[in-house]
Amino acid sequence: MRVRLRGINTVRAKLADGTDKVYHYHRATGTKLIGEPGTPEFIRSFQDAVRNTALARSEGTVEWLIRQYRESRAWTELAAKTRESAAYDLKACEERWGTTLLTIVENPRSRPAFLKWHDTLAEKHPKAADAKLGRLARVFAWGVDRGHIRHNPVANFERAYRSDRAEMIWMPEHVAAFEAVASPEIRLAMMLALHTGQRQVDLLTLPWSAWDGTAVTVRSQSKSRRLVYVPATRALKAALDAAPRRATTILVAPRGAAWRKRRFHELWSEAFAEAKIAEDLHFHDLRGTAVTMLAEAGCTVPEIATITGHSQAHAQKILDRYLARTRTLAESAIAKLDEHRRNRINGPDRFDRAGGA
């Protein structure tokens, strides 16, 4: 069946040798079409011309900027799982903002419109609303960096979704699974976080001058700007002594340069996805894990709060949740053991033999 294409101009010309020649052009763009009408080559040529027309019409819009972003290395270097969720969010952004001109976007007065859209979405789905505007903000940030727009109107915005992550703790099995697949640079970041309890922003900028061979001194970038002295554990000392000094900062990207926050997040997320950890754990949950490790080492709540920067109340809340969780796991394990012993078929098990029961 022959496909009928609309918008084609046919031009007949007489060549120098007296023969007639027929040319076909895409009417809207004047693009010369290749091949004979009805052939796959001709149809592809026509479709390319139509696509180029759509691109030209959308240039200078949010839709165009999103397309440029998705053709960049910033997009292709994302993990497949991250790209899948990001594509879903960007589709919603295109549906709402696709035809908006970038000259409007870069005007600071556009901010209320984006925030109102976010608030409307957040009424039913706060977490999804944060994801969509957060992804659009990332595209705008990329656009500013590439000179496509002069201002990102949503560089910062108040998140609608808030979760109590006091009970989100990296258990030993989570750490082991993550370290098994992470790069050396990412593993060292985890080690620093676990053994100091400091914020990601403070660790990524931590200079080698902060390490004196026995302790790490951290200048917090929080409002308090407090100075924290953290004596090193044996494990942390061994890791830092063995780490190559490739830059002024302790933590560096694979190529040896200081981390950019977005790049660190991307590589951390890729390692987390590869580790196949079921729980929704974040980097900053390592601070809570540090609280539990310090408590297990015998530190008091005030001592823990001094190191990690948590309030004493929040540190206590983390410990209460952690103890409740481990108690539940212990009770579950014993219940399973009792069930196994009740259902054993072939005589006494090794526990009975060992205990003489």
Q: What is the pLDDT of residues 14-45, one digit of tens each?
A: 777 777 777 777 666 667 778 778 788 877 87
Tokens 């005007």, residue?
Answer: 107
Please state the rounded mean pLDDT for residues 121-147. 95
As a whole number of angstroms, the distance between CA 125 and CA 198 comes to 31
Burial class (CB in 10 A: 0-12, 13-18, 19+), 304: buried
Element of type H or E holding 229: strand 227-231
Please state the rounded mean pLDDT for residues 121-136. 94
Longest CA span, the chain: 111
Which of the two residues, 344 and 130, has the higher pLDDT score?
130
The angle formed by the CA atoms of residues 264, 288 and 132, to the nearest 5 degrees, is 50
354: helix, strand or coil: helix
In the predicted structure, residue 168 carries a pLDDT above the cut 90: no
As a whole number of angstroms, the distance between CA 308 and CA 315 comes to 9
In the predicted structure, residue 288 carries a pLDDT above the cut 80: yes
Which of the two residues, 131 and 351, has the higher pLDDT score?
131
Of the ranges 15-29, 40-54, 187-201, 305-319, which is most confident?
187-201
CA-wise closest residue to 318 among 292, 346, 298, 336: 292
pLDDT in tens, 232-251: 889 999 999 999 999 999 99
Contact 149, 164 (CB under 8 A): no
As a whole number of angstroms, the distance between CA 164 and CA 145 comes to 34
| Model pLDDT, residue 353 | 42
What average pLDDT is seen over the chain? 83
For residue 355, what pLDDT band results from cuts at 50, 70 and 90?
very low
Which of the two residues, 355 and 326, has the higher pLDDT score?
326
Q: May I ask the CATH architecture of the domain 172-284?
A: Orthogonal Bundle (1.10)
Element of type H or E holding 351: helix 350-355
